[in-house]
Amino acid sequence: MAEPGTSFGQRLGPALLDSLLAAIIAFALFSLLLGLRMVDKVTGLTLQPRPVLLAVAVGIVFCGRLLLNLFVWHAEYPLTAPFAKLFTRAPFERRDLIVLGATLLVATLMFLFSLVIIDSAAFELVAASVFIFLGIGLVRRIIVQFFPDLPYGRIFTVGGIAFAVLFPICAYLLEKTFRLGLPLRYLLDLSILVLTYVMLGWGLNVVVGLAGLLDLGYVAFYAVGAYTFALLATHFGLGFWICLPIAGAAAALWGIILGFPVLRLRGDYLAIVTLAFGEIVRIVLLNWTEVTNGPNGVSGIPKPTFFGLPFAPSGDGTFSSFFGLKYDPLQGIIFLYYVILALAFITNLVTLKLRRLPIGRAWEALREDQIACRSLGINTTITKLTAFAIGAMFGGLAGSFFATRQGFISPESFTFIESAIILAIVVLGGMGSQLGVAIAAIVMVGGFEALRHTEGLQSIFGEGFDPALYRMLLFGIAMVGIMVWRPRGIIGSRSPSIVLDEARPIGGGLVREGRA
Amino acid sequence: MAYFLQQLINGIALGSIYGLIAIGYTMVYGIIGMINFAHGDIFMVGAFIALILFLALLSLGVTMIPLALLIVLLLAMVLTAVWGWTVERIAYRPLRESFRLAPLITAIGMSIVLQNFIQVAQGARVKPLQPVVTGGYTLFTEGDFAVNLSNIQILIVVTTLVLMTVFWLIITRTALGRSQRACEQDRLMAALSGVNVDRTISLTFVLGAALAAVAGLLYLLYYGVIDFYIGFVAGIKAFTAAVFGGIGSLPGAMLGGLIIGLIETFWSAYFTIEYKDVAAFSMLAIVLIFFPTGLLGRPEVEKV
């Protein structure tokens, strides 16, 4: 492979060869699986060739690899450098500005071209993404340039909390006064979904991020919480607020029961056993029809009340009649939003407090070095078990909320893929970082959910394109990509839980999870 | 008695398939100490490649079954091996010096990618294949119950035995096997003595994927239907088999595969079929808790 500093002509030969090899491998990978599609016919399966698709896939691999080879990997001046610089404090050189300007120009031209001539949503989508990316980078650079020493982490956190608290009320009032036609219902549902995953992420973060125990069966506790509430509510008519602590306690109990035998296992063995437990819980829920109603699930789960006032369209003693408001189904949804927001905050506060207590410090010490912990007299079993139980409790609380929001639950909702999504949120957010987990939940869940409704993609891939199908594929690619690109997650460093003299962020290199 | 014997035969055939997959887990774990979570999905990809090759050969007019089987076997092994190589290259090699759980997380990501890629590219419906290898022998009858040994079961066991022998010879007799065992013991020292560690690890993945392809083909012939989800459960059971036999040990993987196959078959035959996966998963937990080194494994010393 060519060394940096060689001329473009010298690099072209090896780059072409390398890209050709990549293209051949891509052809071997995709020739059968992508180039031929099995179609159901009356006579059985028949094959339908798709040469164009295959050619496009191989072409993308070839061109992408060639461009990367020439301009990024072995180039003296990688073209990606100026974009990376937007997110650091390094000073710009002239060629950085030229590259950024050129990108902006191309995006603007694309946008105008689409606006005036062909009216293609795809072009606009690409241009808009470039604008947003460059815009965020530039705004960040300008702020850092003028106010270099502000506590950005704190501002970001406070701003985020303020936004989360004020968003539904403000949006609701604006909508009611000005009739803006916001898709309020959709936005609230999406936010509730994202917040549920934020809470689950924070709950799992206690286990994975703080105690360093890789739990692949977290969804089991989510399921225990959901089913505890659903069964208590449908069989005994108990309300959400009574069942919430019961569900949390039940999940914590299950955490202890499942955790006790397995916690002396090594990191990756523990991961597989928790996965097995998660699957066992799901299979039992699926087959124990007398209690759980099997695959048909439990329906008719009640909604939470506002201090005993239900959200109902008519009748005495409802929320709207008590406060003399006009009934609106959105009120119930906004209330649900605040419930999950409060639950998520509680999770976060408890975690932050626990991190300062001896038990929290023991968790982090355990993650760093288990043998050292044992030598210092920390009871590793009890320490691991508390982490497991507390994480499970938050999972149970979130599950109980999930049940009340959906009104219907079935084992379908608690598959391994849910565990993988929650784990991905924790890991990609940066293990142990609360802010990172929240950002990752917003990006991974909110972003992919928004993908469902993007029209631009339809115009690229044709009318029949259903982004939902590609959601999990992209999710997996993002999981691998971010992990390879930034093994420490989006927020790689975090402030230490306790400090001696001054607070210094902990570099990613110091944190070594699961070494024991 | 006849019923028992029939279940024994079924269990051995199923266990052979698990054993073939388990070898991939055990070799990779032995050499780089990671659980290749995507291996079950490599098996699934292998089954899909085999099915497409079958259909392609049929439409090309190759009707001689043994010839078609041989072509499918070899091509599927090669193409699946390319998948195994690519997965290692993309998702594991960049993280080799990273913390221990990092490659496990990319492996889960890769598993999601493979499953959904197949779902997108080939559709979510189950894919049936008409029986290719038919016929068999009736060993004996007891009352109304006949104990059958089908040709496909013979094929499965024979193929597994042959491949096991070949692999055993590769690991114990060739230069590749030597460097593999060297990397297993001490990667740095092996590198200092001139072993190309990267290439050895790549080849381990290639060999594991090739065996998974064989398992995929046999699974396809045995059950006649596949879908994009078969890799997950089969993968976990094969991993259980690998741990049971003692992770890192080749004969152990085969033995573990047979035991898991037998447990699953007998559980379905004598207890409830709904809970057969629960039996296998509980087995995994019990084995890991009480015999973490497995039947034929070496105990691992925890060092500071």
Contact at CB, A214 and B104, closer than 8 angstroms: yes
From the candidates A48, A483, A510, A512, which should be mutated to test the interface with B, based on the most B CB atoms within 10 A? Answer: A483
Q: Is the pLDDT of residue A329 over 80?
A: no
In sequence order, the 6+-apart residues with CB closer than 8 A to the CB of B184 are: B30, B31, B248
B186 lies in some domain: yes
Given a cut of 80, whether residue B73 has pLDDT beyond it is yes
pLDDT score, position B42:
95
Residue A454 pLDDT > 80, yes or no? Answer: no
Give the Cα-Cα-Cα angle B199, A67, A124 (nearest 5 degrees).
Answer: 130
Q: pLDDT averaged over chain B? A: 86
User: Which of A470, A473, A482 is the best substitution to test chain B (most B C-beta atoms within 10 A)?
Assistant: A473
In the three-class reduction of DSSP (H, G, I as helix; E, B as strand; rest coil), residue A44 is classed as strand
**Band of residue A456 on the pLDDT scale cut at 50, 70, 90:** low
**Residue type present at position A104:** L
C-alpha to C-alpha distances, A469 to A194, A421, A472, B106, nearest whole angstrom: 20, 16, 7, 21
Mean pLDDT of B93-101: 81
* Chain A residue closest in CA terms to B127: A45
Averaged pLDDT, B121-150: 81
- Residue A2's pLDDT is what? 43
Which of the pair, A14 or A398, is modelled with greater confidence? A398
State the SS3 of A383-441. HHHHHHHHHHHHHHHHHHHHHHHHCEECHHHHCHHHHHHHHHHHHHHCCCCHHHHHHHH
Structural contact between residues B138 and B156, judged by C-beta atoms closer than 8 angstroms: no
Q: What is the pLDDT of residue A396?
A: 94
Closest-CA distance, B168 to chain A, in angstroms, reads 26
Q: Which long-range contacts (CB under 8 A, 24 or more apart) does B89-97 make?
A: B89/B202, B90/A480, B90/A484, B91/A480, B91/A483, B91/A484, B91/B38, B92/B32, B92/B34, B92/B36, B93/B198, B93/B201, B94/A484, B95/A483, B95/A484, B95/A487, B96/B32
Give yes or no for a contact between B137 and B149, defined as CB atoms under 8 angstroms apart: yes
Any A CB within 8 A of B130 CB: yes
What stretches of A179-218 show up as alpha helix (H) in DSSP? Answer: 184-205
Residue A282, burial from CB neighbour count under 10 angstroms (0-12, 13-18, 19+): buried
CB-CB under 8 Å, A279 with B289:
no
Residue that is written with structure tokens 């390094």 in the block: A90
Tokens in use for B280? 């296998």
Which residues does A510 contact at the CB level (< 8 Å), separation at least 6? none
pLDDT band at A374 (very low <50, low <70, confident <90, very high): confident
What distance lies between CA B217 and its chain's CA centroid? 11
Q: Name which of A210, A213, A244, A212 is nearest A229 in CA terms.
A: A244
Residue A404 CA to residue A409 CA, distance in Å, equals: 9
Assess whether pLDDT exceeds 80 at residue B279: yes
Report pLDDT for A6.
64
Specify whether the CB–CB gap between A261 and B289 falls below 8 A.
yes
Q: At A308, which helix (H) or strand (E)?
A: none
B2 or A346, greater pLDDT: A346
So what's the pLDDT on residue A516?
A: 29
Partners of residue A280 in chain B, C-beta under 8 Å = 278, 281-282
Closest residue of A to B240, CA-based? A272
CB contacts, 8 Å: A480 with chain B = 90-91, 106, 109-110, 113
Q: Do the beta carbons of residue B32 and residue B102 sit within 8 Å?
A: no
Cβ-Cβ contacts under 8 Å, A515 against chain B: 99-100
Which CATH number applies to A195-306+341-451+486-510: 2.60.40, 1.10.3470, 1.10.10, 1.10.287?
1.10.3470
Distance CA A196, CA A225 (A): 13
| Mean pLDDT calculated for residue range B26-42 | 88
State the DSSP code for B174: S
Q: How many CA atoms lie within 13 A of B196 on its CB side?
A: 8
Structural domains of chain B, count: 1
Instruction: For B96, list phi and psi in degrees, rounded to 5.
Output: -65, -35
CATH number for the domain spanning B278: value is: 1.10.3470
ipTM: 0.86
Instruction: Return the SS3 of A48.
Output: strand
Most confident range (mean pLDDT) of A72-86, A168-182, A234-248, A389-403 is A389-403
Contact between A277 and A259 under an 8 Å Cβ cutoff? The reply is no
Q: For residues B53-78, give the mean pLDDT.
A: 88
Instruction: Calculate mean pLDDT across residues B114-142.
Output: 83
In this structure, of A351-360, B168-177, B269-278, the range with the lowest mean pLDDT score is B269-278
Contact A484 B99 (CB under 8 A): no
Tens of pLDDT, residue by residue over A160-218, are 888 888 888 888 888 777 777 677 888 888 889 999 999 999 999 988 888 888 888 89
Q: Which residues of B touch A58 (CB under 8 A)?
A: none
Residue identified by tokens 């110091």 is A510
The predicted model gives A66-89 an average pLDDT of: 75
Name chain A contacts of B277, Cβ cutoff 8 Å. 279, 283
Question: What does the pLDDT average to over A101-128?
Answer: 77
> Which residues from chain B sit within 8 angstroms of residue A47, using beta carbons?
52, 55-56, 59
In the predicted structure, residue A231 carries a pLDDT above the cut 50: yes
Judging contacts by C-beta atoms under 8 Å, the chain B residues touching residue A512 are 99
Cβ neighbours, 10 Å, residue B275: 18
Question: Which pLDDT score is estimated for A85?
Answer: 73
B113/A480 touch (CB, cutoff 8 Å), yes or no = yes
Does the pLDDT of residue A311 top 50, yes or no? Answer: yes
At A24 the three-state DSSP class reads: helix
- Closest-approach residue (CA) in chain A for B112: A476
Q: What is the pLDDT of residue A239?
A: 84
Contact B121 A38 (CB under 8 A): no
* Residue A259 to residue B304: CA distance in whole angstroms: 25
Contact state of B55 with A46 under an 8 Å Cβ cutoff: yes
* Cβ-defined contact of A33 to B105 (cutoff 8 Å): no
B 47-86 residues with CB < 8 A to A: 48-49, 51-53, 55-56, 59, 79, 82-83, 86
Q: What percent of chain B has pLDDT over 90?
A: 30
Where in B192-265 does DSSP place strands (E)? 225-226
- Domain that residue B53 falls in: 2-290
Contact A498, A196 (CB under 8 A): no
Per-residue pLDDT band at A50 (split at 50, 70, 90): confident
Pairwise pLDDT comparison (A399 vs A211), residue with the higher score: A399
Q: Name the pLDDT band for A513 (thresholds 50, 70, 90).
A: very low
Question: What average pLDDT score do residues A431-445 get?
Answer: 83
Burial class (CB in 10 A: 0-12, 13-18, 19+), A244: buried
- When the pLDDT of each residue in chain A is averaged and rounded to a whole number, the result is 81
Residues of A in contact with B304 (CB under 8 A): 369, 371-372
Q: State the best of B41, B106, B110, B220 to mutate against chain A, taking most chain A CBs within 10 Å.
A: B106
Q: Is the pLDDT of residue A249 over 90?
A: yes
Q: Which residue of B has its CA nearest to A488?
A: B102
CB contact under 8 A, A483 and B79: no
Neighbours of B59 (CB within 10 A): 11
Residue-level pLDDT at A511: 44
Q: Is B278–A284 a contact, with Cβ atoms under 8 angstroms apart?
A: yes
DSSP classification of residue A445: I
Q: Which residues contact A430 (CB under 8 A, 6 or more apart)?
A: A436, A437, A440, A488, A489, A490, A491, A492, A493, A494
Q: Is residue B222 part of a domain?
A: yes
Phi, psi for A309 (deg, rounded to 5): -100, 115
Angstrom distance (rounded) from CA B258 to CA B254: 6
Instruction: Kindly tell me if the per-residue pLDDT of A500 is higher than 70.
Output: no
Domain boundaries, chain A: 1-78, 80-150, 195-306+341-451+486-510
Residues 6+ apart with CB under 8 A from A482: A428, A489, A490
Residues of B with Cβ-Cβ distance to A268 under 8 angstroms? 34-35, 100-101, 104
- Residue closest to B88 by CA, chosen among B139, B39, B158: B39
Confidence bin at A460 (pLDDT 50/70/90): low
Which residues on chain A are in Cβ contact (under 8 Å) with B104? Answer: 214, 268, 271
Three-state DSSP class for residue A151:
coil
Q: Å from B40 to nearest chain A CA?
A: 13
| pLDDT greater at residue A284 or residue A516 | A284
pLDDT of residue B216: 94
pLDDT tens per residue, range B190-244 = 889 888 889 999 999 999 999 999 999 999 999 888 988 899 888 888 988 888 8
pLDDT band at B21 (very low <50, low <70, confident <90, very high): very high
Contacts 24+ apart (CB under 8 A), A36-39: A36/B52, A36/B55, A36/B56, A37/B121, A37/B122, A37/B123, A38/B51, A38/B52, A38/B55, A38/B122, A38/B123, A38/B127
CA-angle at A102, arms to A100 and A103, nearest 5°: 65
pLDDT exceeds 80 at position A84: no
